[in-house]
């Protein structure tokens, strides 16, 4: 069968497109996902995300190459490999970023369609917020957004402590102002995860014009000359060919540039070095990699109130019976946004996520006792990395070089040092007096900037927001244009976080969904 659209990747963007494009009964849509369906119960119970970290059946399980500025460590990069993609395994924080982030995109891309007042339409179209509709929020969209039903006592202590330190309290990070501290709203419906597989794909999956293939890994895009005409994908051990009027890559900041390069689109010399025939020389493919690097401050808790030693069976039973209790938690229950003295404009440049538990090495290393954790990430890193092929074999993971802390000015490192100091200040607030034990990390002996720097190089990790590797723009290094069409390759688009010119100021799932909503309209009107 020949399809009108072939969507590669059923993640945060791909599920949105599958729904929106198949609304037209005359448009035949094929959705390909390398991973399984989202059947696993820990995907749907929000707190189950803690159990998914090591589950390679739903995770691409990537790691960077040794990072020179981080003691040559290979940093772990989990990415969703399942219907819903990373929206099925993330912490569900609903954050759009600062309005000025999108005005910056419009300026960099040279197209006002990406300015805030235009993209707000697509944020609202996606959003189903239980607080109701307003000038800044939607209430009827497929992506359910709600306040947490159950919060740990330490979460409220944290918010109080931030206020005691002079920070503003903010009940809506997606409101008129981002700065301040408070509880996150989450992408949940009735206290269950609302991934894009749940919100977008499930209502559309029975449409006769939508075909969904799981366990189907796309190996290359096919061309007639320079025009994309379909894909080869491996399914059930067999290589299968699908042809379509348009191919849309939604694999994310790692998989989309990898697939472009495997298909002959990318830096010509790099492709030739791997024996790949060059279809289109685009040096920007795999470049401009950006991510939010994060540093954690961990404190012991003197009372057994954190999530560290919960009875997993009891949590699950209470959740299944009442949709209540710790099982409803996204773990990162509250946080905040801060503008430091190094900010170059009015936007915040640090973000915090508070965890009422001891979280080390993405939760893979369990620490004894009870405690709480503060994540601090720099929102506007100046360091840039790359995605490159390790092999022409589609089954070989690509080389990820994030180049963290490599900016010449040292700005990124200064921001993380500031993040540690701000975290410590809040943990020292009077609100924590009844709960504060010894500091676990960085540790009481780590005081001056040199010692904090050594700690950062030893312990900093990603907070899971890679973007930018198929950047949109109108310059020679851009990979896609403002309509997300691959430059010089008719019939091929990229629609995912890889097209972002710069990181938005916050978590990237909601902005990725917005991009897909916007792209669906661009495609329908083409």
- CB 473, CB 339: distance < 8 Å: no
Distance in angstroms (rounded) separating the CA atoms of residues 365 and 308: 12
Distance in angstroms (rounded) separating the CA atoms of residues 479 and 257: 10
Q: What is the largest CA-CA distance in the chain?
A: 69
Contacts of 299 (CB under 8 A, 6+ apart): 371, 372, 373, 427, 432, 436, 437, 438, 439, 440
Q: How many CB atoms lie within 10 A of CB 268?
A: 16
- CB 366, CB 306: distance < 8 Å: no
Quick one: how many helices (H) and strands (E) in the chain?
Answer: 14, 25
Distance in angstroms (rounded) separating the CA atoms of residues 379 and 165: 21
CA trace torsion 442, 445, 449, 450 (10° rounding): -100
Q: Is 40 labeled as catalytic in the residue annotation?
A: no
Q: Which two tokens stand for residue 189?
A: 């419906």
- Measured in degrees and rounded to the nearest 5, phi and psi for residue 490 equal -60, 150
Contacts of 384 (CB under 8 A, 6+ apart): 287, 288, 289, 290, 403, 406, 468
Give the 3-state secondary structure of residue 293: strand
In the chain, the N- to C-terminal Cα span, in Å, equals 23
Distance in angstroms (rounded) separating the CA atoms of residues 261 and 274: 10
Per DSSP, the residues of 107-153 read HHHT-GGGSHHHHHHHHHHHEEETT---SS--SSSSEEEEE-S---H
Catalytic residue among 137, 292, 465, 518: 465
Distance in angstroms (rounded) separating the CA atoms of residues 362 and 378: 18
Burial 302-323 (b: 16+ CB within 10 A, else e): beebbbbebeeeebbebbeeeb
Give the 3-state secondary structure of residue 25: coil
Nearest to 148 by CA among 96, 204, 192, 90: 192
Give the 3-state secondary structure of residue 42: helix
Residues taking part in catalysis:
465
């Amino acid at each position: 069968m020949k399809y009108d659209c072939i969507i590669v990747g059923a993640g945060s963007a791909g599920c949105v497109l599958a729904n929106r494009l198949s609304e037209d009964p005359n448009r035949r849509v094929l959705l390909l996902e390398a991973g399984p369906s989202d059947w696993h119960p820990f995907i749907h119970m929000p707190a189950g995300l803690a159990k998914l970290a090591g589950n390679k059946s739903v995770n691409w399980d990537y790691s960077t190459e040794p990072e020179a500025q981080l003691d040559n460590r290979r940093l772990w990069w989990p990415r969703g490999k399942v219907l819903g993609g990373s929206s099925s395994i993330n912490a569900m924080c609903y954050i759009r970023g600062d309005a000025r982030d999108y005005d910056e995109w419009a300026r960099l891309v040279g197209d006002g369609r990406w300015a805030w007042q235009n993209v707000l339409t697509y944020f609202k179209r996606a959003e189903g917020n239980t607080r109701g509709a307003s000038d800044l929020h939607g209430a009827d969209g497929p992506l359910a957004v709600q306040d947490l039903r159950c919060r740990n006592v330490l979460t409220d202590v944290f918010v109080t402590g931030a206020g005691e330190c002079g920070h503003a309290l903010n009940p809506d990070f997606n409101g008129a102002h981002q700065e301040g501290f408070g509880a996150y709203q989450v992408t949940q419906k009735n206290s269950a995860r609302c991934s894009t597989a749940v919100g977008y794909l499930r209502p559309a999956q029975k449409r006769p014009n939508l075909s969904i293939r799981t366990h189907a890994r796309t190996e290359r895009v096919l061309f007639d000359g320079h025009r994309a005409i379909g894909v080869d994908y491996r399914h059930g051990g067999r290589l299968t060919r699908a042809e379509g009027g348009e191919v849309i890559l939604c694999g994310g900041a790692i998989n989309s540039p990898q697939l472009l390069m495997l298909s002959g689109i990318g830096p010509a010399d790099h492709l030739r070095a791997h024996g790949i025939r060059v279809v289109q020389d685009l040096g920007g493919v795999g470049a401009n990699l950006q991510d939010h690097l994060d540093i954690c401050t961990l404190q012991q808790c003197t009372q057994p109130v954190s999530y560290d030693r919960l009875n997993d069976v009891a949590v699950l039973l209470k959740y299944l019976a009442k949709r209540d209790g710790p099982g409803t938690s996204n773990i990162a229950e509250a946080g905040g946004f801060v503008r430091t003295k190094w900010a170059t404009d009015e936007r915040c440049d640090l973000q915090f996520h508070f965890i009422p538990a001891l979280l080390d090495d993405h939760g893979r290393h369990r620490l004894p006792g009870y405690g709480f954790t503060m994540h601090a990430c720099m929102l506007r890193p100046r360091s840039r990395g790359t995605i490159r092929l390790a092999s022409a074999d589609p089954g070989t993971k690509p080389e990820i070089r994030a180049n963290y802390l490599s900016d010449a000015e040292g700005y990124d490192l200064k921001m993380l040092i500031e993040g540690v100091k701000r975290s410590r200040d809040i943990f020292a607030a009077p609100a924590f007096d009844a709960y504060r034990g010894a500091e676990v990390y960085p540790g009481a002996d780590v005081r001056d900037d040199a010692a904090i720097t050594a700690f950062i190089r030893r312990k900093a990790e990603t907070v899971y927001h890679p973007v930018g590797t198929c950047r949109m723009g109108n310059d020679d290094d851009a990979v896609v244009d403002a309509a997300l069409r691959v430059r010089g390759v008719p019939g091929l688009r990229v629609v995912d976080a890889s097209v972002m010119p710069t990181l938005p100021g916050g978590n990237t799932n909601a902005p990725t969904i917005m991009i897909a909503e916007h792209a669906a309209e661009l495609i329908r009107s083409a």
